[in-house]
Amino acid sequence: MSSARDAGQERGGAPSRGNGPAHDREATGHGRGSAHDQGPSRGRGSAPAHALGARWRRRRPLRTRLALAATAAVALVAVGICTAAFFVIRFKLYQQLDQNLAQSANLIAQQHQRESIGVYTGECRYLGAPACVQRVPEDPAKDPSKPYAEKGPEGDARPDDPYVLPVSGTTRQVASGQHPAYYTNFTLDGHPARMYTTPSTDGTALQVALRADIADRGVRQAATLLALVGGAGVLLAGAAGYWVSRTGLAPVTRLTATAERIAATRDARHRIELPPGRAGREDEVTRLAATFNTMLGELEQSVTAQRRLVADASHELRTPLTALRTNAELLARADRLTPAQRDRAAQALGRQLREVTGLVNDLIELARDEEPLPLLEEVRLAALVGHAVEAARTHWPAVSFTWDVDEPAAALTLPGVPSRLSRLVTNLLDNAAKFSPPGGPVEVTLTERTLTVRDHGPGIDPADLPHVFDRFYRAESARALPGSGLGLAMARQIARAHGAELTAGRAPGGGALFTLALP
C-alpha cells in the first residue's frame, strides 16, 4: 500500500460551540523580504514618477481620467467585497466540515470507550467512505506491534506503520493532556483531507479524518464565481463611468469648442447650447456653461460698444480736424491775407482746437469710467453737490443756480468714487446751463432718495428723449451749441456704475428735468 500519511500543519485550539475546539486552519507561511531589501533605495525616482504622472494626465482627456478613476474605485470595492465573501465562504465550508468531524469524534468516543489502541476504520481515502478513526496512546511503546494491513488503492501494503492517519509529537501531547484538541490538513493518498485530534478519557488521543474534496471544490468554485462577478462589475462600472463622464462633460466640450471658435474668428456672438431644463435645477457644468454664455454676452456688448465708440469718435473728429487743417493751411499763407482775415482764421483755429481738445478729453473720461471702480469710500453727497454748484456758478455767470437740500439728506452718504460722482453732477449742471436762457434759473434739489436738476430752457423734444443718453447724440436744436454729445452718456454710465439710475424728462411748465435715483 502507498503511504497514508503526509503530515500537515498542526494547530492547537480551545473547544468551540460546546463540543468542538476552535477551528484551526492550515497555516500557510508567507515569505517576507528583509527590511534591508527596501531600505536605501526607498524614495528614489519619486520625482520622475510624479513628472510621468503629470505628463500622463496632460495627454489623457478628462473624461478618460474620470472613467478610469471610477473604474479603479469600483475595482477596489469589488476586490474588497469579493475577498471578504471568499473568506466568509471558505470559513463556513470548513466550519461545516469541522463540525462533522467533532460530532463524529463525540459519537465514536461514546461507542468505542473500551476499544483497544489502533485503527478502527481506515476507508476515508474514498470520497463516500466513512471517517477514518484511530486511537493513539501517549507512549509510543504502547503502539500496536503489527502494521496496518489494509491495502491502499494501488494494492500496496503499509510497511511497519500501525496507523493510517499521521501521528506526531503533538498527537502524543494531546493524549497526555498537555495540548488541546486541534484540526489539521493533510494529504491522504493524493487527496486533501482534514483531521480532528481530541483527548480521550483513557489517556489516549482520538483521531478522526475525512476527505476535504467537497470543501476545497466549493472554495475553488466560490473563488471562480466571485472573480467573474467582480470582473463583470468592474467592466460595467468602466463602461458606465465613461458614459457618465462623456455625458456630464458634454457642456465642457461645447464650451471648449466655442472658446476655440471665438479665438479663431474673434466673434463673440457665439453661444454654448444649453440642455433644456428648469431654471435652478442645472448641474454644476450646465451652470458653468450658462455663466460662460453670460460672459460672452458681456464681452459682445463691450466689443460692440468699443467699435461704436471708435466709429463715432472718428466721425465726430473728422469735421473739426478738416476745419483745423483748412485754417492751418490758410494761416500758412498769412502774407496773402489782410490783418482782419488773419485774426478771424486764428480765432477759428483756436476755437476748433478747443473743441477737439474737449472731445478728446471726454473720450478719455468715458473710457476711464468703463474701467472697474477703484476702492470705494463713503461720500457726503450734499457737500459734493454743493461744491459742484459753486463751481458751475463761476463757470456760468449768466445762469442763476439755486441749491436746495432736505434736512435728512444733509448727512446722506453714498459709497463711491468722489471724482467720478463730481463729474456726474458737473455734466448735469453744464448741460442745464447750456440750454438755459440768459439769467434763467437752474434748480438743484437733493432729497434722501433723489437728486434733481431742472432748467427752464426749451426742454427735450419727445422724439429725442429715447436718445438723450446715447453717445455723440445731439438734437437738432443743440447742434449749434458747443459740446461733444458725450456729457449725458458719461453721466448715466457713472450713475449705473454706482448702482444709481439717471433719467430725463420734460419738466412741468417747460424745460428739462434730470433725476438721479440714489441706491
The lowest-confidence range among 17-26, 254-263, 322-331, 430-439 is 17-26
Task: Give the pLDDT score at 38.
Answer: 45
Q: What are phi and psi of 52, to 5 degrees?
A: -65, -40
Q: What 3-state class would DSSP assign to 129?
A: coil
Please, which pLDDT band fits residue 36 given cuts at 50, 70 and 90? very low
Residues 198 and 216 sit within 8 Å (Cβ to Cβ): no
Phi, psi of 452 (to 5 degrees): -120, 145
Give residue 444's pLDDT: 94
Q: pLDDT tens across 96-144, in order?
A: 888 888 888 888 877 766 667 777 776 666 655 677 888 888 888 887 8
CA distance 354 to 348: 10
Three-state DSSP state, 24: coil
Reported as a single tens digit per residue, the pLDDT across 394-445 is 888 999 999 999 888 888 888 988 888 998 999 899 889 988 888 889 999 9
Q: Is the pTM of this model over 0.75?
A: no
Domains in the chain and their CATH numbers?
Answer: 15-26+58-220 (3.30.450), 268-371 (1.10.287.130), 375-517 (3.30.565.10)
Return the pLDDT at 156. 43
Grid cell 448735469 in the structure block, residue: 428
Between 117 and 76, the higher pLDDT residue? 76
3-state secondary structure of 370: coil
3-state secondary structure of 63: helix
Q: How many whole angstroms separate alpha carbon 249 and alpha carbon 289?
A: 11
Give the tens place of pLDDT for each residue, 181-197.
999 888 877 888 889 99
What is the pLDDT of the chain when averaged over all its residues? Answer: 77
Please check the confidence at residue 40 and state whether its pLDDT lies above 60: no
Cα 428 to Cα 15, 203, 368, 422, 437: the distances in Å are 102, 119, 19, 10, 16
**Beta-bridge partner residues of 413:** 380
Q: Tens of pLDDT along 194-207?
A: 899 999 878 888 88
Q: How far is CA 349 from CA 265, 319, 331, 343, 358, in A?
A: 44, 13, 9, 10, 14
Cell digits for 174? 494531546
CA dihedral 310, 314, 315, 320 (to 10 degrees): 140
- Residues 380 and 345 sit within 8 Å (Cβ to Cβ): no
Nearest in space to 312 (alpha carbons), one of 466, 468, 471: 471
- pLDDT, one tens digit per residue, over 221-262 is 989 999 998 888 888 888 888 888 777 777 777 778 877 887
Residue 159: CA atoms inside 13 Å, Cβ hemisphere, count?
A: 0
CA–CA dist 455, 509 (Å, integer): 11
- Is pLDDT of 152 > 60? no
Residue 313 contacts residue 358 (beta carbons within 8 Å): no
Query: Residue 391 to residues 242, 386, 424, 429, 468: CA-CA distances in angstroms?
Result: 70, 9, 13, 10, 24
**pLDDT for position 51:** 58
d(CA 507, CA 519) in angstroms, rounded, equals: 23
Spatial separation of the C-alpha atoms in residues 440 and 418, rounded to whole Å: 29
In the DSSP assignment, the letter for residue 275 is P
Greater confidence, 25 or 77? 77
Give the model's pLDDT for residue 53. Answer: 55
Which of these, 430, 313, 415, 420, lies nearest to 370 by C-alpha position? Answer: 420
Strands (E), 9-90: 15-16, 20-21
Give yes or no for residue 10 having a pLDDT over 70: no
More confident residue, 202 or 46: 202
Per residue in 480-493, pLDDT tens? 555 556 788 888 98
In 362-462 the beta strands, taken as DSSP E runs, fall at 377-380, 400-405, 413-416, 441-446, 450-454
Closest alpha carbon to 96 in 9, 223, 1, 183: 183
Instruction: Please say whether the beta carbons of 179 and 173 come within 8 A.
Output: yes
Phi, psi of 420 (to 5 degrees): -75, -40
Distances (CA, A) of 250 to 23, 48, 61, 243, 397: 56, 33, 12, 11, 67
* Exposure on the CB side of residue 275, measured as CA atoms within 13 A: 15
Q: How far is Cα 506 from Cα 515, in angstroms, rounded to an integer? A: 11
The pLDDT, as a whole number, for residue 501 is 93
